[in-house]
């Protein structure tokens, strides 16, 4: 397993580099074919390679992962792949190349992979712009989705993830000379200031929606009333009610400065993965862990989103965090605890076997997401 992780990590695969992603897809495909005996389908969308395996009808369990990383080509020079004191280091090892290795080794442990589908995408780190519909399609076909992202702290499974929504408020004013006749202008920066403060008031703290103005811009020169301004907003929501509350409030903004105009533009979004989506699967995972003599796994709600949000968003029971135990994702100290890799693979194999024989309920209580358009 260490050798397999090293093979994937040393094939660098930043999301923005299509040539590197193509090489990575080849390496992941070879790994999966060796361990499962089956070649993948290679699915290209806008030049981005995604890989799919189907065993039988592939409609019982979907195993979900991604092979792209945030690390640019050349990162291995400063952060070489190595094992030190039981930890494996290297760009993308925790997020999530070790998880892919564990997933394929778990499949190799099964007497028969019938009823299983595997989807490995190439744009998760970008928010799944080309793979979203593919993930939704595969998740709708399955009775359960297991996501092999890295675990939460201490190996806990991820049973809830906040949803993400991105917005941009674009302010249109009117330019004027700041010294000669500022009153003839419509100051977009002043209008922007009103909305930044209003956005901050939508924040409900750690347990509710977090609303964070991030990138701001206004003006072109010191002596000109700004005629354009903008603010980008990062929103994280624990459930659909909070998502609607914040979305309704942002879409209802009105100008404060006479003569100004405000456009609200939406960006990529992920629905929340609510605890109801994972409850039955999490209980099953704990049962399997106990039967294998593994300590209780524990569960965690996390703020970051993954492809698991997309799968859960169509109503399919989804459990995340079944991948590597480690930490430091996206940072210099990214690492995997190697002793846990075979244990997690065995755990995953046990959960998959149970799901092949005993499907879970597909009624997760999650509403079908609605496409509300790109501009309001």
Q: List, by residue number, the catalytic residues.
A: 68, 124
Phi, psi (degrees; rounded to nearest 5) at 99: -65, -40
117: tokens are 């589908």
Cα–Cα distance, 178 to 360 (Å, whole number): 66
CA-closest candidate to residue 356, choices 105, 108, 113: 113
The HSE-up count of residue 159 (CA atoms within 13 Å, CB side) is 18
The pair phi, psi for residue 374, each rounded to 5°, is -100, -15
Q: Which of 292, 284, 301, 277 is nearest to 156 (CA)?
A: 301
CA 31 → CA 6, 41, 45, 321, distances in Å? 12, 14, 22, 21
Taking the C-alpha atoms of residue 194 and residue 182, their distance in angstroms, rounded to an integer, is 19
Calculate Rg over the CA atoms of the chain: 23
Please answer whether residues 162 and 236 qualify as being in contact, where contact means their C-beta atoms are separated by less than 8 angstroms. yes
Q: Taking the CB of residue 310, how many other CB atoms lie within 10 A of it?
A: 30
CA dist 59 and 359 (Å) reads: 10
Q: How far is CA 118 from CA 121, 232, 311, 326, 361, in A?
A: 10, 35, 13, 23, 20
Cβ partners under 8 Å of residue 287, min gap 6: 354
Angle between helices 275-291 and 340-357 (to 10 degrees): 110
Q: Are 90 and 11 in contact (CB under 8 A)?
A: no
């Amino acid at each position: 397993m260490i050798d397999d992780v090293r093979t994937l990590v040393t094939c660098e695969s930043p999301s923005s580099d299509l040539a590197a992603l193509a090489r990575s897809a080849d390496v992941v495909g070879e790994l999966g074919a060796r361990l499962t005996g089956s070649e993948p389908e290679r699915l290209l969308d806008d030049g981005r390679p995604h890989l799919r395996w189907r065993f039988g009808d592939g409609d019982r369990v979907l195993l979900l992962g991604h092979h792209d990383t945030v690390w640019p080509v050349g990162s291995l020079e400063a952060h070489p792949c190595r094992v030190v004191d039981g930890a494996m280091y290297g760009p993308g090892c925790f997020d999530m190349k070790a998880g892919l290795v564990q997933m394929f080794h778990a499949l190799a442990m099964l007497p028969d992979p019938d009823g299983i589908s595997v989807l490995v995408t190439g744009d998760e780190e970008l928010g799944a712009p080309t793979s979203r519909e593919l993930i939704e399609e595969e998740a709708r076909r399955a009775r359960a989705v297991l996501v092999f992202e890295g675990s939460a702290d201490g190996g806990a499974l991820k049973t809830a993830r906040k949803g993400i929504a991105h917005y941009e408020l674009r302010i249109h004013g009117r330019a004027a000379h700041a010294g000669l006749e500022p009153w003839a202008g419509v100051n977009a920066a002043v209008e922007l200031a009103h909305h930044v403060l209003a956005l901050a008031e939508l924040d409900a703290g750690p347990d509710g929606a977090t609303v964070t103005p991030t990138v701001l811009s206004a003006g072109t020169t010191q002596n000109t009333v700004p005629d354009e301004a903008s603010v980008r907003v990062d929103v994280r929501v624990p459930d659909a009610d909070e998502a609607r509350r914040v979305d309704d409030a942002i879409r209802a903004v009105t100008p404060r400065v006479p003569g100004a105009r405000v456009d609200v533009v939406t960006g990529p979004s992920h629905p929340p993965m609510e605890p109801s989506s994972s409850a039955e699967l999490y209980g099953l995972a704990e049962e399997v862990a106990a039967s294998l003599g593994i300590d209780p796994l524990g569960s965690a709600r996390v703020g970051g989103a993954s492809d698991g949000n997309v799968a859960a968003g169509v109503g399919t029971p989804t459990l995340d965090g079944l991948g590597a135990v480690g930490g430091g994702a996206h940072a210099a100290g990214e690492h995997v605890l190697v002793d846990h890799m075979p244990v997690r693979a065995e755990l995953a194999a046990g959960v998959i076997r149970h799901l092949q024989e005993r499907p879970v309920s597909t009624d997760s209580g999650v509403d079908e997401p609605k496409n509300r358009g790109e501009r309001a």
